Structure 1
Amino acid sequence: ASVSKATQAKGWVKQQGKWYYYKNGKKVTGWSSIGGKWYYFSSYGIMQTGWVSIQDKKTGKYTYYYLNESTGAMHTGWTKVNGSWYFFNNNGVKQTGWLSTGGKWYYLGSYGIMETGWTSFKDNKTGKYTYYYLDTNTGAMKTGWAQINGSWYFFNNNGVKQTGWLSTGGKWYYLDSSFGEMKTGRVSINNVYYHFDKSGAMQTGWQKWGNYWYYFNQNGSEYRGWLKLGGSWYYLDASFGDMRTGWVFINNKWYHFNNNGVWVG
C-alpha cells in the first residue's frame, strides 16, 4: 500500500499558499507551541495571522489575540497594529483598562487601544469627573507637575488632576478651581487677593504687581488698611489694596506718605 503525502509530512508545510504544521503525520489545530512561540491553527489546520478572537462558551465573552502578520507567532507585550498601540499579557491576551507595566501606568480603551492626552472618568454616584493626562508620545500616566499646552498642572500619585489649593515642596500653589491650571501673579480667590510668583509659589510680604506695591499676610492674603512694619506706618488702599504715596484722604483726614509709602505726616 502507498503511504499518503500527508502522512509523510513533518513540521511546517506550505500548501496552496497556506501554512500548516504536521505532528505525528497530522495537521495541528488550535493552539500549539512550536520553537518557543505560540501559533493558532484553524479547525482545518491553517495557520492564522492577525487578530484572533476566541469565545468562552460559559460566559460568552471574547478573548482577543494578535498573531504576527508574517510569521503567525502570537504577540505579547506592546504591539503596534495599524498605527495604534495594544498590550498583550504573557498569555497573549489583549488587555483593556488601566495597565501597570515597567513602573508606569497606561490606559487602554474599551477596544484595547492605548490612549494619550487627557482622559476623564465619570463617577456614577456623584456625577463628578476625574481627569488624568497620558503622555502624548509614550501614553504613560503623568504624576506631579506637568506642562500641557503652555499651562502647568499637578497630578497626585494616583494621576488625578488637582484643583484648588496645593501644598507641595514646602510651598503653596493655587490651581484653577474649574480647569486646574496653575495660577501666577495677583489672583482673586473667594474675593481675597493672593500673589504667586512666576513659578506659581504663593508669596508673602511686599510684592509688586504692575506699577503698584501690595502687602500680603503670612497666610498669603492681601492686606488692606493701615499697616505698621518696623516702626513705620503704611496705608494699603481699602478698595484696591495698593500701597499709597503722596497725599491721601482717609476717614475725613489728609495724610502724607513718602515715595516708599511711609507715613510722614
Structure 2
Amino acid sequence: MNNILKYSSKLFFLGLAASAIALATNVPATAEETPQAGQELVNRADGQWIKDATGWWFKYPDGTYPKNQWKQINSRYYYFNNQGYITTGWKQLTGFNKHKEVSWYYFDPTNGDMKTGWQAINGKWYYFDPTEGYMLTGVKQIGAPGVRKYYYLHPTNGDMQTGWHKLPHSYANGETIYYWRYFDPEDGHRVEGWRKIDGDWYHFTRGMGVMSSSAWNGQYYLKEDGKMAHDETLLIRGKYYTFNSDGIVTSVKEK
C-alpha cells in the first residue's frame, strides 16, 4: 500500500547542538521506545517521535510529518490525523492492505497504536481483526484452529452479546429463517448441545447452535418454547406422553 511505511529499529540520538548526531546501533526496538506517558522525544533512523501540548506526532529528518494516513512503525500501526497527531480511542477510517472498507478501529488511549484481537473497552468486549485491526460485527468464528467458537458481536456497535438472541440463517435457496440461539453469559461463545438455563434444560443443535423445539432428542422432548418436558403430560401427535422429573417418558396413551 502506498501510504504504509515501515521503518528500521536503529536508534538515533540528538546531540546538544542543533544538528543531529546519528548513532546506529543493533539494539532491537522495545515497547519503551514507542510513545509512553512522560516520554517527550524518541529518535528514529528516519525521524523522531515528538510530544507537545496537543499530542504525539512523527517528524521526518526534513521537518515534514505524516498526516491523514496510516503508518507502520516497529510493527505497530498508527493513524495520523489531518494535523499530524496520532489518533487515540475510537475512529472510523478506511482500512489499509486488503480491507478497504470504512470500519471502526480502536487506538490505545496513551500510545496510539492500533489494537487487535479481543479488547475490553469501558466494560464491554470487542474483537478486532488480528491482522488489520478493523472491528468485527455479526456472528463470527473466532479462535485458534481446532478450538474456534462462534460469538455474536452487535451488528452496529460491535460489542460482544450474551444470552438469548433470535438470529437469521440464510439457505442456498434464498430463504432466511430466524432461530433462537444462546450465547454463554460468561465468555460469550455460542452454546451447542444440552444447557441448563434458569432452571430448565434446553438443547442446541451441533454446528448451528439452533434451539431445538417441538422435537424429540433421544428419549427427551423439547417443547415449543425449547424447554425439556418434565413433570407433565403432553399431547404429541395424537398421543398423551407423561414425563417424570428427569424428563423420561413413563406412560403413553392414545388420545
TM-score interval, normalised by the smaller of the two chains: 0.5 to 0.7
Q: 1:87 to 1:226 in 2, by over 3 A?
A: same
Taking structure 1 as the reference length, what is the TM-score of the superposition? Answer: 0.65
Instruction: Kindly provide the amino acid, as one letter, of the partner of residue 228 in structure 1.
Output: N
The structure in which a higher percent of residues are strand is 1
C-alpha separation in 2, matches of 1:122 and 1:100: 16
Q: 1:259 aligns with which of 245, 251, 255?
A: 245
Aligned to 1:175: 153
Deviations, residues 134-178 of structure 1 (Å, cap 9, x unaligned): 111211101111111111111111111111121122222121122
Equivalent-residue separation in structure 2 for 1:85 and 1:178 (angstroms): 30
Q: Which moved more, 1:83-92 or 1:192-201?
A: 83-92
From 66, 88, 93, give the equivalent of 2:59: 88
SS of structure 2 residue aligned to 1:119:
strand
Counterparts in 2 of 1:97-108, with a 5 A limit? 97-108=69-80
Aligned position for 2:173 = none
1:250 equivalent in structure 2: 235
Q: Which amino acid aligns with 1:192?
A: Y
Q: Which residue of 2 aligns with 1:223?
A: 212
| TM norm structure 2 | 0.67
Which runs of no fewer than 5 residues in structure 1 stay unpaired? 1-32, 39-74
1: distance between equivalents of 2:74 and 2:210?
A: 44
Distance in structure 2 (CA, Å) of the matches to 1:250 and 1:178: 43
| Mapped partners of 2:60, 2:245: distance in 1 | 71
Aligned partner of 1:71 in structure 2 is none
- Residue aligning to 2:180: 193
| 8 Å CA contact retained: 1:195, 1:207 | no
1:218 deviation in Å? 0.5
Give the residue type in structure 2 aligned to 1:112.
G
Report the counterpart of residue 237 of structure 1 in structure 2: 223
**2:25 is matched with which residue?**
none
Q: What are the superposed Cα offsets for residues 63-84 of structure 1, whole Å, 9 maximum, x if unpaired?
A: xxxxxxxxxxxx9421111141
State the Cα deviation string for residues 99-125 of structure 1 (Å, max 9, x = none). Answer: 1112111111101121111100369xx
Aligned equivalents of 1:77 and 1:167: distance in 2?
40
d(CA) in 1 for partners of 2:233 and 2:111? 60
CA distance in 1, matches of 2:111, 2:248: 57
Aligned counterparts of 2:16 and 2:107: Cα–Cα separation in 1: 37
How many aligned residue pairs are there? Answer: 189
Q: Which has the larger radius of gyration?
A: 1
Indicate if the aligned counterparts of 1:98 and 1:106 stay in contact, CA closer than 8 A: yes
**Aligned-CA RMSD value:** 2.4
Residues 129 and 263 of structure 1, relative CA distance in 2, 3 Å threshold: farther
Aligned partner letter, 1:81: D
What is the percentage of aligned positions where both structures have the same residue? 31
Greater RCO, CA 8 A, separation 6+: 2
Quote the residue 1:210 is aligned against. 198
**Which one of the candidate residues 49, 65, 72 is aligned to 1:78?**
49
Aligned to 2:32: none
